[in-house]
Every structure is written in C-alpha cells, then in structure tokens.
Amino acid sequence: MSDTFWIIVAGAVLTFLTRIGGHLVLSRFERVHPRVEVALNAVPAAVLTTLVAPAAANADWRGLLALAIAGLVSLRFNALTMFVAGAAVIIVLRQIS
C-alpha cells in the first residue's frame, strides 16, 4: 500500500485518540468548572478563525467578496448555508474573471 494511505490512516487514528482522550479526561470529573466549559465552547470559533484569517489575509478581491457575502449570509442562515454561499460565490467569481 502507498505511503499516502498510511498517512491518512495514522491521521485518522491520532485524531480519534485525541478526541477520545479529551472525553476520558473530562469524564473523570463530576462537574466541569464553568471557566473550562466556556473555554471548550470557544474552541470551534478559534479553529475556524485559524482557517479563515490566513486565507483572508492572502485573498484577492474575489476571495474577500466571497468572505463578506458568507459573513452576511451567516447573520441569517445556518453554517452549512454560509459555507455553500461562500463557495458558490468564489466559484462563480473565479469562472467569470
């Protein structure tokens, strides 16, 4: 089998272990401190920011326009709709210009 296959398998196993490890650690506590809970709730936004910020910093006008439209869509609709709208805008803009 190829190296790519083993890299994907190793990544999947390590991802699973980190997720289950966090669950096992938190399950040992009877009650999670409110500050820890707030920090854990902030993780998805922090991860999304680390994905969006570099792309926005290096984007051309089409990427910035798609990001702005996705941001506006996110104010009214759910995350899936926002991602689809942003992807559709960037695809269309790249095809016409």
> For the residues 7-18, what does the mean pLDDT come to?
94
The whole-angstrom separation of Cα 69 and Cα 85 is 7
Domain that holds residue 77: 46-97
Higher model confidence: residue 58 or residue 45? 58
Q: Is 8 part of any domain?
A: no
CA-closest candidate to residue 82, choices 73, 95, 91: 73
Least confident of 2-6, 11-15, 38-42: 38-42
Would 62 be classed as within a structural domain?
yes
pTM above 0.85, yes or no: no
In-domain check, residue 67 = yes
Q: Report the pLDDT value the prediction gives residue 66, as an integer from 0 to 100.
A: 94
Q: What is the pLDDT of residues 19-47, one digit of tens each?
A: 898 888 888 888 888 998 898 888 888 88
- Quick one: pLDDT at residue 32? 84
Residue 29 resides in a domain: no
Q: In this structure, is residue 5 part of a structural domain? A: no
Considering the domain boundaries, does residue 14 fall inside one? no
Into how many domains does the chain fold? 1
Q: Give the contacts of 52 (CB within 8 A, at least 6 positions apart).
A: 67
